[in-house]
Each structure stands twice: as C-alpha cells, then as structure tokens.
Amino acid sequence: MQYLKCRIYNMNLMKNKSLVSITDYSKDDYLRILALAEEFENRPDPAVFKDKVVATLFFEPSTRTRLSFESAVLKMGGRIIGFSDSSSSSVTKGETLYDTIKIVSNYCDLIVMRHPLEGAARFASELTSVPVINAGDGANQHPTQTLLDLYSILKTQGTLDNLTIFMVGDLKYGRTVHSLLMAMSQFQTTFHFVSPDELKMPEEYKYYLNCLGLKYTEQKDFNSNIASADIIYMTRVQKERFSDPIEYERTKNAYVLKNKMLDGTKENMKVLHPLPRVNEIDQDVDLNPKAYYFTQALNGVYVRQAIIASILGLK
C-alpha cells in the first residue's frame, strides 16, 4: 500500500512489549504493524514462528480472535497451547488468575488472553516477563481488533487520514469502538456516534477527543445522514454486558442496517463490523460490494501474525 511506503520501520521497538491497550503503541507502531501485515499477506513465510509456543487463554467465548490467532501461529510454523473455555482449566478448582499466569508463562513464549474483567490483561502483563496480548478485557479494550480494523480501513480507503467514521450501536460497552476511537484519533478522523441514550459513547472518550480538538457528533437517528461516511462501523448490542435484562431488551434491536440504506453513500464507503453479528446487519447487505466485514475478519490473520512477530522480535 502506497501509504505505508517511504517510511522507515524499526520493529525492535516492540520486542517483548505487551499489547494490553491500544495506547501502549504509538502511531508509528501501528504503521509498522500494518506494513508487516501487508508483507505477510503478500509473501507468507511458513517458518517465522518455528520453535515458538503461544498460549491462548480464553476465559470468555470467541470465534474470530482465538481462531485467527491460532491460525496465524500455525501457518507460520509455531505451536499453540491453551484453552478455549476456562471450565476445562483448574480455574474451576479455585485457581486464581495470578497462579494461572505464573504457571502458563513457564510453558510458552507469549500469552494471548481474553478475560471478562476489565484490567485482567494489564494485571497478567505485570506478573510475568512473557509478553501478554490482550484479546479483549470486558468492556475495556480489544487492541488487536483495532489493528486489524486499521488494516482494513487502510486497504479499502488507501489512507488513514481525514476520514469520516460512523460508529453505530453499543458504544457504551463496545470495547472495539473504544480502542478504534483511540487509534483513529491519531489520524484527524471525524466521528459520528449513533446509539440509543442508554448506550452512548462514555464521557472519557469524548473528553479525549475534545482534548485533541477532534470533531464528533452524537445522534439517535440512523436512517439518514450517512452520506458523508467513509466507514460505517456497526456493533452488536452485547447481551453479556448488561446487568439489567430489561435494558438489553429495550435496546437490542435499536439499529438494523439494510441494503437499501446504502443507496446514496460514497463509492469508497465500506461497512465494517468486528462480528459476531446478531441482527444489526441484514443479510441482504452481504452481497453489496460495500460490505467488508468478512474480509475484515480474514485480515485478522495477517495482522496478528505481524503483532506476534514484532513482539517476539522475529521481524
């Protein structure tokens, strides 16, 4: 991608560095990862992770994140240990996260962890000298999702600068939109937040944008006014984050994107979604060339290969 050319990348800056929050990395770090992801996509190298063992510890369900991490490692000659369900681990016997991390770090070169508690990945990263990658901690952050989102945006738009992004749905509990906002704020983005009152973007993120002097709007209406979008980033209303089931029932069908709604949107516009979707994108959108969410999930393999290779100092 032309945008990534003519930049000098020093991958050593990321060696042994945990990735817990997207703010652990600088703008230059993001671009280094994207350049390496492009290299891996164009020229796969089956031996880069030879003799490396990656532990995937998933205390919360996942399809894309876990399997794309595992695919990323296996396709490059590495090995995987771990669990996809903590009920198959000694957590069920009362073992603490502290002890689990202490033990697993003896068995691997890198830990990828998803946990329902915000801050769990930071806690784990402070316990061990083995680098930790946060694969999602509660409603807090999902930094590897953000890096694959950046890669998807760059591949489809040819630039990361001066874009207009509509974030739609659960902006309160959605860790993917929180991380994406922090990253895209480095690229002079204009944000439009579309959500019901109950699921508005938390104040701290709007404060962050205010401090940077970036523009954003908030609206409840999603049927009009998307003509300026370069990216529409749909999100699921996450049942598992609600303590009040009535609030979930009230908001779960707040927005459903239908193919007809894409009439009049910009030629370059793409619909992204971290997935899984429930019913917030109608299946009639899938065949529209502006639907990009399945390729976005594929991009996760290259980007996660790039993240692991950088952290392990292999590239």
Q: Which of 131, 138, 169, 274 binds ligand CP (CB under 6 A)?
A: 274
The active-site residue out of 52, 114, 236, 270 is 114
Taking the complex as a whole, the smallest distance from the CB of residue 189 to ligand CP amounts, in Å, to 20
List the one residue from 12, 23, 63, 225 that touches ligand CP (CB under 6 A): 63
Q: Residue 51 Cβ, how far from ligand CP at the closest point, in Å? A: 27
**Contact present, 235 and 177 (Cβ < 8 Å):** yes
Question: Contact with ligand CP (CB under 6 A): which of 275, 285, 311, 312?
Answer: 275
Whether 115 sits among the annotated catalytic residues: the reply is: no
93 is annotated as an active-site residue:
yes
Q: Which of these, 182, 138, 186, lies nearest to 22 by C-alpha position?
A: 182
Is residue 295 at the binding interface for ligand CP, with CB under 6 A as the rule?
Answer: no
- The amino acid at residue 261 is M
- Compare residues 216 and 293 and give the one whose CB is closer to ligand CP: 293
- The answer to the question of residue 62 lying near ligand CP (CB under 6 A) is yes
* 239 belongs to the binding site for ligand CP (CB under 6 A): no
**What DSSP letter does each residue of 136-152 carry, written as one string?**
EETTTB-HHHHHHHHHH
CA dist., res. 154 & res. 137, Å (int):
26
- Which listed residue (56, 100, 125, 145) binds ligand CP by CB under 6 A? 145
Q: Under the criterion CB under 6 A, does residue 141 sit at the interface with ligand CP?
A: no
What DSSP character marks residue 224?
A: S
Closer residue to ligand CP in complex, CB, 48/177: 177
Q: Of the listed 66, 142, 155, 175, which one is catalytic?
A: 142
Query: Minimum Å distance from CB 62 to ligand CP?
Result: 3
Query: Does residue 142 have an active-site annotation?
Result: yes
CA distance 6 to 42: 18
Give the DSSP letter of residue 105. Answer: T
Kindly tell me which residue out of 56, 65, 164, 179 binds ligand CP, with binding defined by CB under 6 A.
Answer: 65
Extract the runs of DSSP E, i.e. beta strands, from the chain.
53-58, 79-83, 110-115, 132-137, 164-168, 190-194, 216-219, 231-234, 270-272
Q: Return the SS3 of 233.
A: strand
Residue from the set 44, 264, 276, 313 that interacts with ligand CP by CB under 6 A: 276
Residue whose pair of structure tokens reads 């579309």 in the numeric block: 194
SS3 label, residue 60: coil
Under 8 Å between Cβ of 4 and 151: no
List, by residue number, the catalytic residues.
64-65, 93, 114, 142
Please give the residue ranges that form the binding site for ligand CP (CB under 6 A): 62-65, 136, 145, 274-276
